[in-house]
A and B are shown apart, each in its own frame.
Chain A
């Protein structure tokens, strides 16, 4: 027990001092307030912790059994019991009042915020701007949300499938992205970034297989840079559809319930072919072809409930390849493409 105490006495402060026990550098005005509140509450907790553990350790050391005498049989003492009911009550009230102040100031809304629509889906994000520009990530290629620093930004958080949660640790605030039904307004999250920079974020509500891959970055730029960017965001150019010759070989493939209709496709080797892909649900899918790590073809995304697209794929050598949905790279949306 004693060695343990000594060990803890050295290890705990070391860990605390390492700084990890405090939240990351706050990067929004809201985050600064939350951080202060965190520190206040942490301090209250630390006082309680040191007090209780201190008494405990003292009692353990001081009152170990030395002889067989029966100690005085104290059954209680109303006065001290009242005192130690009042103390935590005061702490609780402080905690409550400070929390409510912070809550009030971080939930304030401004009228002139830059509004960006965020859609979470299994398993990535789409960010839409009111200029019509939008960017959609895939688990292998997370998107960046470009935002202005120094002015309020309001995110409108939508989902059409399951619950996700929009979380950037440096903002110290997260909000669930809930597929509310029936005309209920979507959640919103407002913040003002204090400093340009790139901040990583990720989905915080468990949402199925690739929950861990719902990462993204927030790319905060000065207002001027943001305006310039918004003029010309450098659209991730959708590959122009080449025309498809009449007699091209066609294989059919469809997707429903986040699963391909088949996991085996066979095509002729050394000639172009078409994968006619039908997406039967209102969830984005695509089909891409890989040879181990190397990308041979990356299909454009389509969203159902009933949408068909022809992917023209350039000749492949005989052999086995992998086809996959980049949005849902799970076993149900992976298959073997055999060229022969």
Chain B
């Protein structure tokens, strides 16, 4: 990696480039490792999605048998969530949070490296199922008693459990690190309510990880005991309770979805102000909304269990629908930020606007699902698949690309090509809506999810075909992105310290920043210290 200024010599002796990356405890390098690792898993899980979509394009089993199909969506869901979308935001956060709060590094650099390196280990374990006679095939939700030894005898399920436990432990260690960093390592003047919104969303996200992940770890261990040591937690034939698994899983699973989305919403809240040249409208409201979503997320888990017949529907319908309020506050704050702004449509900005428009659809479909009677119809149909991709892909994964375009210059010192970026966005946007919009309708017409095949006379063929075509268009859209990253790394234009006229502290140092980040910090008197510095003569601060 090229640096624009001489970095203080950190190592007295020369180490090989590879060894340097393998042993690094620098938060920036670890962040880059996280991001690279996550993209590898994204491409693999995306290929599995193409397998799924190809099989479903037309009725009949053409490419894979049922068991392979079931492994495909299980691995697709598991890897996308636990090894792509969650860790990649940990990667961006690793890179930029210390910069944004003016810290030299994370609080525990070595634990930081450890929690990264557990990820390829855990992911490897999960994928290793393919080598021992079949990967796990119980869905990413691993419902019981289907995942008991009796019904899923292979080692793939045990590897899935162990892999997830490793990944979970890694994320707990990571969250201890992030929270300590944010609490204790802020630069002088960086009070909590001057922190960039992205840092706030990371703070709430990591608190959710800290409190939700151990519950799934406990459940996974209990399942492992059931499968391997004759335990009877979840198997009704020996006195266990299959519904207990669902409670434990979703007690974690629902906070998990906000773990995924909050950082993406944070990124939007960094990008919109920069490219509108306005402050985020209602900063404090935004912070409180984020905290509110975090708190509410622990009280809604049973909206995934409406059809089990054993949960108290009014309570969970009500609490779930309530989440629309703080989320709505965020949307309106964004719109007000754009209002009377001075907007430029860089690739990062396009993706941020893409999130606002697409996550909205996912949010509305979520609120429809929150109504228990409507959910009776839509639960476990493609409507849910559509919902989850509008929030995961249209919300979070778009946030990944927005972050990539926004921070790539900081991380590499090079600018990405904007034309390729726009092509990427356009193809992705069209492909995404083709793939997933029709899935709402499939679900409303009653097509269940997780089926390898459907009847030719069910009337679902055309829409499935459109969806499959869209999925391949998404895959094509990745080509300009990969080309863009590779060519820009090799011979992109120099970015300079602050190519976007940014607001936050990461733009106050070189691109990429030196080992301990800052030679000197500007004074911090608001949530936009770099903006204040740039405009110190124009807008006197209140």
Q: Is B345 an interface residue (CB 8 A)?
A: yes
Contact between chains at A63 and B338 (CB < 8 Å): yes
Q: Is B318 an interface residue (CB 8 A)?
A: yes
Q: List 10 A-B contacts (CB under 8 A).
A: A21-B441, A24-B445, A41-B374, A45-B367, A64-B344, A76-B285, A81-B332, A122-B151, A162-B145, A208-B152
Give the contact stretch, choosing among B181-189, B260-268, B273-281, B401-409: B273-281
Give the contact stretch, choosing among A112-120, A163-171, A240-248, A318-326: A163-171
Contacts of B523 in A (CB 8 A): none
Q: How far is the CA of A48 from the CA of B454 in the complex (A)?
A: 34
Contacts of A167 in B (CB 8 A): 380, 446, 448
Contacts of A229 in B (CB 8 A): none
Contact between chains at B309 and A175 (CB < 8 Å): yes
Contact with A along B307-322 (1 / 0, CB 8 A): 1111001100110011
Q: How far is the CA of A4 from the CA of B152 in the complex (A)?
A: 46
Q: Is the interface of B mostly helix, strand, loop or mixed?
A: helix
Q: Which residues of B contact A (CB under 8 A)?
A: 65-67, 70, 137-139, 143, 145-146, 150-153, 236-237, 239-243, 276-279, 281-285, 307-310, 313-314, 317-318, 321-322, 324-325, 328-329, 331-333, 335-336, 338-345, 350, 353, 356-357, 360-361, 364-365, 367-368, 370-374, 376-377, 379-381, 426, 429-430, 433, 437-438, 440-441, 444-446, 448-455, 458, 463, 535, 538-539
Report the minimal beta-carbon distance from B331 to chain A, rounded to whole angstroms: 6
> Which residue of A63, A172, A331 contacts B276 across the interface (Cβ within 8 Å)?
A63
Q: How far is the CA of A208 from the CA of B138 in the complex (A)?
A: 7
Contact between chains at B143 and A34 (CB < 8 Å): no
Contact between chains at B279 and A75 (CB < 8 Å): yes
A74-B336, A75-B281, A181-B239 are known contacts. Are A34 and B376 too (CB-CB below 8 A)? yes
A96-B318, A330-B67 are known contacts. Are A53 and B360 too (CB-CB below 8 A)? yes
A75-B283, A207-B146 are known contacts. Are A56 and B353 too (CB-CB below 8 A)? yes
Contacts of B152 in A (CB 8 A): 208
Select the residue from A23, A182, A203 with max chain B CB neighbours within 10 A.
Answer: A23
A75-B279, A257-B150 are known contacts. Are A65 and B332 too (CB-CB below 8 A)? no
Contacts of B239 in A (CB 8 A): 181-182
Contact between chains at B445 and A169 (CB < 8 Å): yes
Report the minimal beta-carbon distance from A294 to chain B, rounded to whole angstroms: 20
Q: Is A102 an interface residue (CB 8 A)?
A: yes
Contact with B along A121-137 (1 / 0, CB 8 A): 01000000000000000
Contacts of B309 in A (CB 8 A): 175-176, 178, 187
Q: How far is the CA of A38 from the CA of B367 in the complex (A)?
A: 11
Report the minimal beta-carbon distance from A137 to chain B, rounded to whole angstroms: 14
Contact between chains at A63 and B356 (CB < 8 Å): no
Total number of residue pairs linking A and B with CB closer than 8 Å: 277
Q: How far is the CA of A245 from the CA of B310 in the complex (A)?
A: 55
Contact between chains at B145 and A172 (CB < 8 Å): no
Q: Is A206 an interface residue (CB 8 A)?
A: yes
Contact between chains at B338 and A59 (CB < 8 Å): yes
Q: Is A202 an interface residue (CB 8 A)?
A: yes
Contact between chains at B381 and A204 (CB < 8 Å): yes
Contact between chains at A96 and B373 (CB < 8 Å): no
Report the minimal beta-carbon distance from B432 to chain A, rounded to whole angstroms: 12
> Which residue of A37, A200, A203 contacts B458 across the interface (Cβ within 8 Å)?
A200
Q: Is A228 an interface residue (CB 8 A)?
A: no
Contact between chains at A211 and B343 (CB < 8 Å): no
Contact between chains at A63 and B444 (CB < 8 Å): no
Contact with B along A40-64 (1 / 0, CB 8 A): 0110010011001101100110011
Contact between chains at B343 and A81 (CB < 8 Å): no
Contact between chains at A103 and B324 (CB < 8 Å): no
Q: Is A298 an interface residue (CB 8 A)?
A: no
Chain A positions 78-101 with a Cβ under 8 Å from a chain B Cβ: 80-81, 84-85, 87-89, 91-92, 95-96, 98-100
Contact between chains at A4 and B145 (CB < 8 Å): no
Contacts of B377 in A (CB 8 A): 23, 34, 38, 169, 172-174
User: 20 new A-B pairs (CB below 8 Å) besides A74-B278, A95-B370, A96-B317?
Assistant: A23-B444, A38-B368, A53-B357, A64-B344, A70-B539, A72-B278, A74-B340, A76-B284, A77-B281, A102-B373, A103-B372, A103-B373, A106-B373, A161-B151, A165-B379, A169-B377, A174-B376, A176-B307, A205-B380, A331-B67
Contacts of B321 in A (CB 8 A): 92, 95-96
